[in-house]
A and B are shown apart, each in its own frame.
Chain A
């Protein structure tokens, strides 16, 4: 373990200990900042009762579905737009118009169209993910050195082979950037869409706890969201390592 690691651990442990101490000596109110150990105890209790795992499962189902639909659509449209001029021309004004809209602002519309169930939430997440993946995929295709396309053609590749063997792998690093940004967006959107019009999910749990002023439970929800964020980052980093082995610098 390096000195840098030690400092990092000391920083986190020290602050948590100070926090715990301030609450126990009554300097901080548990209503505003519940002690770390209380949050941990609440999470344990909520896990044993099944409340927390269920909420996570419900939210994850929405996140994963929305993410997969959005990512697949984004990659396919992005590759086509990057490789075929007229598809890009048709897509361009829509990207320019819809990309800047905060996707949470579309949620009321989707509620109207898809009802109060999972579909409206999944659609909101999917749209959010789609545009991030789409824009990054197009960037990826555009960033491919044109001489590589010439080389592939010179070696006898057909148009389809140029697409699958040059354009797709060439755009992959940027696609993964889009996926990482999209995963972050999916977590933001699942929280927002679970505040209203649902009776299940991590966002609902957190918001309901807030309305009951159960701050410990709110913290439990926040920490769980944090853990989900870390887990998705790890998963995507692992996928990128497997998918783009050439980006790993060897020692």
Chain B
């Protein structure tokens, strides 16, 4: 086990009304090495908040996060944000070396590592371009390489493909699977797309909204490569749809 979440809760206080909103309640979850874990749920189910808590960018109101293998030297997690969050004043290369740079890795080492990652994410030739000179898909490749540059054990994805057009999304989904396979890293991936969950995930955590809780954890035993139109995939989709349907409806009413 790579990461253990025990009874995590997160509540916000709305100052104007004095109301307490429970974004997350009693989240208990183990993340296993090398898996592609999907956090799936409707808007407002707290899946992004949960990701921020795992990243250490937000503190939980209650509960405990443990990394049983201990810290070591590498960074444990790295985040890939939905809107890329690239530094506009840094080139592709400059963005990717940011992590090692603030961790005082020598210039030669970090640039060599960056060059390898640029090759991994298929960005060769774009090293010296600025983010505004890249397409959305290329930007997300940079964001992925930048997250990998710290050599984290777990990569956290916050709806990374939501801002892209359908064609680019398909291409990048395959790229993500390839990179997941090549690096052997653990992926924790937030999405609200059922299709994406079935296509990518080895396990799917279904979440419900108001408050955000885990409804069910579903294994996805389908063989890879998977196909959006495959029969087994369609059956899995149906099953998830049934489980999630009522939740989405409820979330929309509230």
Contacts and interface: CB of A to CB of B under 8 A. Distances in A.
Contacts of A169: 87, 89
B87 A161 contact: no
A158 to B, nearest CB: 7
Interface residues of B, number: 27
Interface in B51-67: 55-57
B87 A157 contact: no
B79 A172 contact: no
Interface stretch (A132-140, A143-151, A228-236): A143-151
B89 A246 contact: yes
B103 A156 contact: yes
- Output the residue of A151, A161, A170 with the most chain B CB within 10 A: A151
Interface residues of A, number: 22
A151 B89 CA distance: 14
A244 interface: yes
Interface in B26-78: 55-57, 75, 77-78
Interface string A167-180: 00110100000000
Interface in B83-134: 83, 85, 87-91, 98-99, 101-103, 130-133
Contact of B85 (A145, A158, A165): A145
B150 A151 contact: no
Classify the interface of chain A: helix, strand, loop or mixed: helix
A126 B37 CA distance: 58
Contacts of B102: 152, 155-158, 161, 165
A156 B88 CA distance: 18
A151 B83 CA distance: 11
A156 B57 contact: no
Contacts of A161: 102
B124 to A, nearest CB: 18
A155 B90 CA distance: 15
B145 to A, nearest CB: 12
A154 B89 contact: no
A150 B85 CA distance: 9
A147 B89 contact: no
Contact of B78 (A147, A154, A158, A166): A154
B146 interface: yes
A24 interface: no
A250 interface: yes
Interface of B: 55-57, 75, 77-79, 81, 83, 85, 87-91, 98-99, 101-103, 130-133, 146-147, 150
Interface of A: 145, 147-148, 150-158, 161, 165-166, 169-170, 172, 244-246, 250
13 contacts: A148-B85, A150-B57, A150-B81, A151-B79, A152-B87, A152-B102, A154-B55, A154-B77, A154-B78, A155-B150, A157-B98, A165-B102, A246-B90
